[in-house]
């Protein structure tokens, strides 16, 4: 691997995290980032695809799961931290993903981030995660609340998707399809971040811009959309945001647009315009990349948002 490839490491922790990493691997993201899968469940890890795989907690869980216990997830991650770190290395950007609610994601992600925050404070620490569905029960919600609170203290940016917001549009889908869709949302977000960092835009965006949006940037929300033109793609991206976030005076927005060659300046400018009006964000970065494709793809990211749902779960109220 070249020095550039080593600049980003993506670590998937637990079942949801490993599924997301597998999805990224299948999208060829390992050309631009190192993909690491970490889990207690041996069978699940074997099925995953990643550049590196680390089975943790063998002495405690014997290759099985954590039983949904956060303290077990935190313990096995702490005990086996050195094997995880030896695969993760010291990249310029660390992206950690997993689902909140079980033991590994909620317990393990914070342990890894805490190590990097203390040892390498300059590394940009990003988290891409989900908050469980209400129907999964109170215990999962408590695990998730605990995990989220820790993550928000340890990461530069915590990109959060509330599964319940997605639920309304997928309630008629088979269960497996619903979870696959969640993996896809997480994977698209991470792939978008990697593309911005590694490829930039033909117009407009640099690592420094991405860092401005995401360094010390609290809670983040993302949306992905495609369409036959920029307006349609950006409107779809806005309706695919799964957090009730609103912009604050500290918010930044980043809009990344991939279009075919023939898009005009006027049309491309619709994307940043629409997003800054929608979220009332004054600090905006915009990147445009030309690709050989026949539709338009938009990713939007807004940082330092305020979310009533997150405020209420963190202060102990039921969602």
E-strand ranges in 14-61 read 34-39, 52-55
Cβ contact 34:9 at 8 Å = yes
Integer CA distances (angstroms), 40 to 56, 90, 132, 309, in order: 5, 23, 20, 30
Q: How far apart are CA 182 and CA 23, in angstroms?
A: 11
Does 66 bind ligand GDP (CB under 6 A)? Our answer is yes
Smallest distance, ligand GDP to C-beta of residue 19, A = 4
Does 14 bind ligand GDP (CB under 6 A)? Our answer is yes
Alpha carbon 158 to its chain centroid, in Å, reads 8
Among positions 179, 256, 285, 286, the unique one binding ligand GDP when judged by CB under 6 A: 179
Binders in 101-130 for Mg ion, by CB under 5 A: 102
Binders in 239-298 for ligand GDP, by CB under 6 A: none
User: Of 99 and 220, which has the nearer Cβ to ligand GDP?
Assistant: 99
> Please, what's the b/e burial string for 89-114 (b: 16 or more CB within 10 A of its CB; e: otherwise)?
eebbbbbbbbbbbbbbbbbbbbbbbb
Which one of 87-95, 99-107, 254-262, 266-274 is the stretch in contact with Mg ion (CB under 5 A)?
99-107
> What is the contact mask toward ligand GDP in residues 96 to 135, using x (rule: CB under 6 A)?
--xx-xxxxx------------------------x-xx--
CA 92-296-29 angle, 5° bins: 30
Among positions 9, 15, 240, 304, the unique one binding ligand GDP when judged by CB under 6 A: 15
Does 15 bind Mg ion (CB under 5 A)? Our answer is yes
Smallest distance, ligand GDP to C-beta of residue 156, A = 22
User: Of 179 and 286, which has the nearer Cβ to Mg ion?
Assistant: 179
Tokens 């049309």 belong to 267
Choose among ligand GDP, Mg ion, none what residue 61 binds, the Cβ cut-off being 5 to 8 Å by kind.
none
Integer CA distances (angstroms), 222 to 133, 149, 309, in order: 18, 19, 16
SS3 state at 173:
coil
Choose among ligand GDP, Mg ion, none what residue 163 binds, the Cβ cut-off being 5 to 8 Å by kind.
ligand GDP
Q: Cβ-closest residue to Mg ion? A: 15
Which two three-digit tokens encode residue 174? 């088979």
User: Of 151 and 233, which has the nearer Cβ to ligand GDP?
Assistant: 151
Residues that bind ligand GDP (CB under 6 A): 14-16, 19, 66, 98-99, 101-105, 130, 132-133, 136, 140, 163, 179, 182-183, 186
């Amino acid at each position: 691997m070249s020095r550039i490839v080593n600049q980003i490491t993506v670590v998937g922790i637990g079942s949801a995290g490993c599924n997301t990493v597998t999805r990224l691997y299948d999208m060829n993201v390992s050309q631009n980032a190192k993909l690491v899968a970490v889990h207690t469940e041996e069978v699940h890890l074997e099925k995953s695809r990643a550049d590196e795989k680390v089975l943790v907690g063998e002495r405690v869980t014997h290759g099985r799961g954590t039983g949904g216990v956060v303290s077990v997830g935190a313990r096995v991650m702490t005990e086996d931290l050195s094997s995880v770190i030896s695969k993760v290395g010291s990249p310029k950007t660390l992206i950690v993903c997993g689902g909140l609610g079980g033991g590994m994601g909620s317990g393990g992600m914070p342990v890894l981030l805490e190590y990097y925050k203390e040892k390498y404070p300059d590394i940009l620490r990003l988290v891409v995660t989900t908050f469980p569905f209400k129907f999964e029960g109170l215990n999962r919600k408590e695990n998730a609340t605990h995990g989220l609170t820790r993550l928000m203290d340890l990461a530069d940016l915590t990109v959060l998707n509330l599964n319940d917001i997605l639920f309304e549009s997928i309630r008629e889908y088979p269960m497996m399809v619903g979870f696959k869709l969640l993996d896809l949302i997480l994977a698209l977000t991470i792939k978008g971040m990697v593309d911005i960092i590694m490829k930039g835009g033909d117009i407009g965006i640099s690592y420094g811009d991405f860092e401005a949006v995401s360094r010390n940037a609290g809670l983040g929300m993302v949306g992905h959309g495609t369409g036959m033109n920029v307006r349609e793609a950006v409107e779809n991206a806005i309706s695919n945001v799964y957090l009730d976030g609103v912009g604050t005076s500290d918010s930044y927005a980043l809009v990344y647009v991939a279009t075919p060659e023939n898009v005009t300046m006027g049309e491309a400018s619709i994307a940043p315009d629409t997003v800054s009006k929608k979220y009332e964000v004054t600090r905006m970065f915009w990147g445009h990349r030309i690709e050989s494709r026949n539709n338009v793809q938009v990713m939007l990211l807004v940082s330092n948002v305020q979310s009533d749902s997150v405020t209420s779960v963190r202060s102990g109220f039921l969602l």
